[in-house]
Structure 1
Amino acid sequence: MRKGIIATVLGAAAVLAGCKAGGDYQGLEYAPNMYHSVAYEPLSQITDESAGTIVNSLDNGRGEYFNSNKYNPYAMNLREPAPNTVKRDPRGWLPYRGKRIAKDSIPAYTAKLSNPLRRDTAQVAAYLEQGKVLYVSQCQHCHGKTGAAESKIAQNYALGVANLKAENYLGITEGHIFHVITFGAGNMLPHGSQVSPDDRWKIAMYVKQLQSK
């Protein structure tokens, strides 16, 4: 009985010692295929063809962990885009290539920027409803329910929040609104990374509807 206990303890100690990693020794792994993908991965390339030979189950002579495409530049699994090309969205639209500029320059800068969602006239009503939901979640906390900057944030923010019902804002275009949501203006920070292009256009449509009331 005592010998059995001692053998069990020694066996457990050996297993635990084998799991200890440090320096150049990374320890033992249980079921390494759970940690190292055999399939290609776009952002993680292991270029050493001998990596993982100790657990190799492949018949191509390479280690289990090798997951690079040696025919692509830098052995990457992602292909670099062709030179001088611009990725289009699923509809074939080009991305907006604007930039943050002085507030007073925005009207002229966006004068020819039109809302592509307006082309689908049958969906305009649906886009406006979606724009309302987006406005409530993304804009109302500052600009207020009606757009007149009646929110608590606007009332307590010393630097001011734009009153979208003010006379000097009534003439702004949907392109102007889209640009400001994307890159920010004045005290407003950019929201281009938080709101998709389609959703920015829907918000712009709804803001113009608010201004007409």
Structure 2
Amino acid sequence: MPLRVVNVLLLMLFLATVALNWAERAERDRPHVEILPEMVRSAAAESFSPNPVFADGKTLQKPAPGTIPRGLLPLHYQATPEDAHRAGEELTNPYSLNNENALKRGASVYANFCLACHGPTRAGDGPVARRGYPPPPAQPPPIKDGEMFHIITYGRGNMPSHAGQLSREDRWKVILYIRSLQQKTVAQAAGGKP
């Protein structure tokens, strides 16, 4: 038999073997060869099951001291007027008024969480206040961004805490949006363009 025919037959035999091997696989989404399969398919222990590996015999271990959960940065202030003032002195808004995305997000957060009480112009004339709930002050005293962040986080007076509803970033963005509204109000009062 000529060498060329033998090569073609061997190639066809190889291709047929590969095709049969692929066709008879039980799990088509699982590869034939796994490198370090014990890492891919490790035995997962139940959280509250006994585990002889650890000294206390439990699978679930206490986190190391000082561990911070993912996505949570501790805020080292208490819900007191003194700490609100301290936050005003120590905290600054990480966003600038030039950040259009932050302003848009702040406007959305304000519309969803603040508008009901504070109203569209921050005058304390929102739908909740119009129906008899004590309104927020129409012209609150000037406060720094950090103090406003503290108030949104812990609440003050009739305003409840919004820390559970708003992420830290959203609280800063709504403060940024409020500052942009204040700038427009000042510009309008001075006779300039908003």
Which TM class, normalised by the smaller chain length? 0.5 to 0.7
**Number of equivalences:** 142
**Which aligned segments of 4 or more residues in structure 1 are displaced greater than 4 angstroms?**
none
Deviation, 1:108, is: 4.5
Deviation, 1:148, is: 1.1
Partner of 1:156: 131
Q: Map of 1:1-213 to 2, 5 A cutoff?
A: 39-41=44-46, 44-47=47-50, 68=51, 70-71=53-54, 73=56, 75-77=58-60, 79-83=61-65, 85-87=66-68, 94-102=73-81, 106-118=84-96, 124-163=99-138, 166=139, 168-169=140-141, 171-213=142-184
Between the aligned residues of both structures, percent identity stands at: 30
Partner Cα separation in structure 2 for residue 86 and residue 208 of structure 1: 35
Q: CA RMSD in A?
A: 2.8
AA of the residue aligned to 1:154: A
The answer to whether the 8 A contact 2:87-2:150 is kept is no
The answer to whether the 8 A contact 1:69-1:75 is kept is yes
Deviation, 1:107, is: 3.4
AA of the residue aligned to 1:45: F
SS of structure 1 residue aligned to 2:174:
helix
Partner Cα separation in structure 1 for residue 173 and residue 119 of structure 2: 17
The unaligned stretches of length 5 or more in structure 1 are 1-37, 48-67
The answer to whether the 8 A contact 2:88-2:145 is kept is no
Which digits, 9 at most, give the CA deviation of each residue in 1:22-77, with x for residues without a partner? xxxxxxxxxxxxxxxx7334xx4133xxxxxxxxxxxxxxxxxxxx5742756133
SS of structure 1 residue aligned to 2:77:
coil
Q: Which has the larger radius of gyration?
A: 2
Deviation, 1:201, is: 0.6
Single out whichever of 137-146 and 107-116 deviates more from structure 2: 107-116
The answer to whether the 8 A contact 2:79-2:154 is kept is yes
Judging changes above 3 Å, is the alpha-carbon distance between structure 1 residues 74 and 205 closer, same or farther for their aligned structure 2 residues? Answer: farther
Q: Which has the higher contact order (CA 8 A, sep 6+)?
A: 2
Partner Cα separation in structure 2 for residue 162 and residue 80 of structure 1: 46
Which digits, 9 at most, give the CA deviation of each residue in 1:147-186, with x for residues without a partner? 11121212333533232xx1x43x2222122111110001
